[in-house]
Homo-oligomer: A and B are copies of this chain.
Amino acid sequence: MPEKPQILSRKQVAESRLFRVEQLELRFSNGVERTYERLRAGSVGAVIVVPMLDKDTVLLIREYGVGMEAYELGLPKGRVEKGEDMLEAANRELKEEIGYGARDLRLLKLMSQSPNYMQHRTQIVLAEALYEDCLEGDEPEPLEVVPMPLAELEDWVAREDLTEARSIAALFLARSALLQQS
């Protein structure tokens, strides 16, 4: 593996309420220099949670995504807030988005989204031993909770309203983890 490129300079080139864009000048180990842009990650990270209602059933949510301008099925997720660890953030998001907490929370995998252009990391958390517990979230309308039999994963990820790469990756990784432990 080559030596990592040297970062010659970096500066912020655009900013909005949610997004910050940074421009970087890199020199690769072969001497080639290039200018890149990347999105800065604004927080300590994000979690995406695979909540198992029982050993065969995942709880998905249906939520409007203005990026896609569509109602999309996906897993509960959100930013890690200051002072929280990943598991605390996962449990809070569960309570806010599906009305359950979990007694058994496990880190499965730290994912990137677009390693060439984004600094963002998302931790997949597997949540088992659920119990009813509700926290008020900041959703503009109630989220619909949709149970998905894990045995039907291939059919569900073929749906046109289940498209998010992180949700698809997390569902497959959770199924593998659950198969390995059974």
Interfacial residues, chain A to chain B (CB-CB below 8 A): 1-2, 4-5, 7, 13-19, 21, 23-24, 26, 28-30, 32, 34, 36-39, 62-72, 74, 109-122, 140-141, 144, 154, 157-158, 160, 163-166, 168-169, 172-173, 176, 180
A163 touches B112 (CB 8 A): yes
Further contacts, 10 of them, CB under 8 A, given A1-B62, A30-B140, A109-B157? A1-B144, A2-B71, A14-B16, A39-B39, A65-B115, A110-B160, A112-B165, A165-B165, A166-B169, A169-B169
A116 touches B67 (CB 8 A): yes
The SS class assigned to the A binding surface is mixed
Q: CB within 8 A of A21: which of B16, B24, B28, B176? A: B16
B70 touches A115 (CB 8 A): yes
A112 touches B14 (CB 8 A): no
Known: A14-B15, A14-B19, A158-B109. A32 touches B141 (CB 8 A): yes
Complex CA gap A27/B158 in Å reads 30
Which of A66, A113, A121 counts the most B-chain CB atoms under 10 A from its CB? A66
B21 touches A37 (CB 8 A): no
Complex CA gap A38/B66 in Å reads 7
Task: State the Cβ distance, A180 to closest chain B Cβ, in Å.
Answer: 8
Known: A112-B165, A172-B169. A39 touches B64 (CB 8 A): no
Task: State the Cβ distance, A14 to closest chain B Cβ, in Å.
Answer: 4
Task: State the Cβ distance, A46 to closest chain B Cβ, in Å.
Answer: 9
A69 touches B4 (CB 8 A): yes
| A-B pairs with lowest CB-CB distance, top 9 | A65-B115, A172-B172, A168-B169, A14-B16, A165-B165, A112-B163, A32-B140, A169-B169, A68-B115
